[in-house]
Amino acid sequence: MIRNFRNHLLNHIHGNKYLYILIVFFFILGVAAGSYMVKMLNSQQVKDLISYLDKFLSDIAQWDVEPTVLAQHTVINHLKIILFFWFLGLTVIGVPLILLIVLFRGFVMGFTIGFLYQQKSLYGLIMALLAIVPPSTIYLPATIIGAAAAITFSYWLIRGRSRGLDGSILQQFMAYNFIMLVISLFAVLAGFMEAYLSPTFIKIFSNFVSL
């Protein structure tokens, strides 16, 4: 089953490589826009964000952050995105919105990394990487694949069948649901990593720097 899913996924990527390139381009564009937006913040906005950041880092250092609550929050947010992808894939006008979501996800990542680097220099950059990279190794590919699956299914609905997809509507719909279900499982795993692993890395790094 795992081998079949992997083969299907590889075939999907190969058959829609230009679509995947487009999705990655929108994500990178979002990262660039988020990094640039950091420079557009006024002094009051910077002050408010620094206050929030310092409180968060203080909570991490004292381990006042409840992992269970954080896991619930992150998992729900991740699943909302996947569910939104799934719904938009059922429509014939959802493609622009899917790309905008990918753009926004890149924007958030770019803004977070850019702001931490601007305010904390190398220390902030390392913290951002420790917080973002572990869950992103799972969630980012899941987001890209989910967006591509939703767009190709939406395109299939418009054309009757898209390139490389055969079978009835019911068969395609079941395959689409299965892909989104697997992606959702990866999104849940990424949420738990973000809640448990990332704060641990930040705490270890913060204690190391304070030595």
Residue 5: per-residue pLDDT: 65
Provide the residue range defining the domain that includes 90: 10-40+78-202
Query: Is 61 a member of any domain?
Result: no
Residue 122 lies in a domain: yes
pTM: predicted TM-score of the whole model, two decimal places: 0.84
Q: Is residue 30 part of a domain?
A: yes
State the angle between helix axes of 2-15 and 17-38 in degrees (0 to 180), rounded to the nearest 10. Answer: 80
pLDDT in tens, 51-101: 877 776 666 655 556 777 778 888 999 999 999 999 999 887 888 999 999
Confidence check: pLDDT of 12 > 70: yes
15 or 19: which carries more pLDDT confidence?
19
Total structural domains in the chain? 1
User: Would 173 be classed as within a structural domain?
Assistant: yes
Pairwise pLDDT comparison (44 vs 57), residue with the higher score: 44
Indicate whether 112 belongs to any domain.
Answer: yes
Q: Does 210 reside within a domain?
A: no
Query: pLDDT, tens digit, for every residue of 154-202?
Result: 888 877 654 544 557 778 888 889 889 999 999 999 988 888 887 777 7
Does a structural domain hold residue 53? no
Predicted pLDDT at 211: 46
Whether residue 120 lies inside any domain: the answer is yes
